[in-house]
Amino acid sequence: MTLITGHRGARNLWPENSLAGFRNTLKLGVDAIEFDVHLTESGELVVIHDATLERTTEGFGPVRKLTSEERAGAQARPGVRLKGTDETIPTLADVLAALSAKDGPDLHVEIKTDETGTPYPDIARRVAEELRRFGVEDRTHLTSFDISVLEDCRRHAPQVARLVSVNADWAERQGGLAAFLARVDGLVDIVAIHHELMEAQWELVRAALPLDRLCVWTVNEEAGIRHWLDRRIGRLTSDRPDLAIALRSAMRTAAPLEANPA
């Protein structure tokens, strides 16, 4: 069965990487929730996608420069804020506290780089400590595009599963998808490939990895979701996990009828 991951919570349904969004996403019955982590110079691990503040908050400048006071006051932009809320940038501890129930979904914790593309010093160790503190190591994948970050994850948290992400541009920078897959062999448990690259190089990918080690991202339209569910991909990441879950359920129910039309 294809596992469904809510991307940045479920960002087409609720504000991305927000506590309100995560709490609502939990109610959908997703198999995993994905979110992003940066490290500020004041020492806070904060959950936000971009390395700068402008797109999703009313703040400006790089995330790494945030003080704790500025973070607490950096409200989500009106266009992405839930009505009647005063959402700000949550810390990793805030998010793990909201998602740490023992029967909760898996967590895909993406460790980001700063606005120059440089890994934050010691971020892997810091994230690993928080996972340990909240008791979620056994249902977490630490994720990144950056291979050096994942190597740090293996060093500081060898018991935590790892996932690498790649799109066409990043694969080209690494010498092509085949070379990239060879580089991460033995380092990661899951390879998450952008849907356009996955489709373009499907035969190469299928020859390199079993389906249960593959994740396709980010698929939001019904036709695309059906396509990858038909291929029995191991994992599918979506901004519309509600739609993906509904289609998966409908396809599983319909399958026996198609096989036995009577």
Report, as residue numbers or ranges, the catalytic residues.
Answer: 7, 49
Sign for the CA dihedral angle at 209, 214, 220, 225 comes to: positive
For Cα atoms 39, 43, 44, give the angle at the middle one, nearest 5 degrees: 60
What the block records as the tokens of 204 is 């190469």
Separation CA 246–CA 241 (nearest Å) = 8
Contacts of residues 195-198 at CB distance under 8 Å and 24 or more positions apart, as own/partner, are 195/219, 195/224, 195/228, 196/167, 196/168, 197/166, 197/167, 197/168, 197/171
Separation CA 209–CA 189 (nearest Å) = 10
Contact 10, 18 (CB under 8 A): no
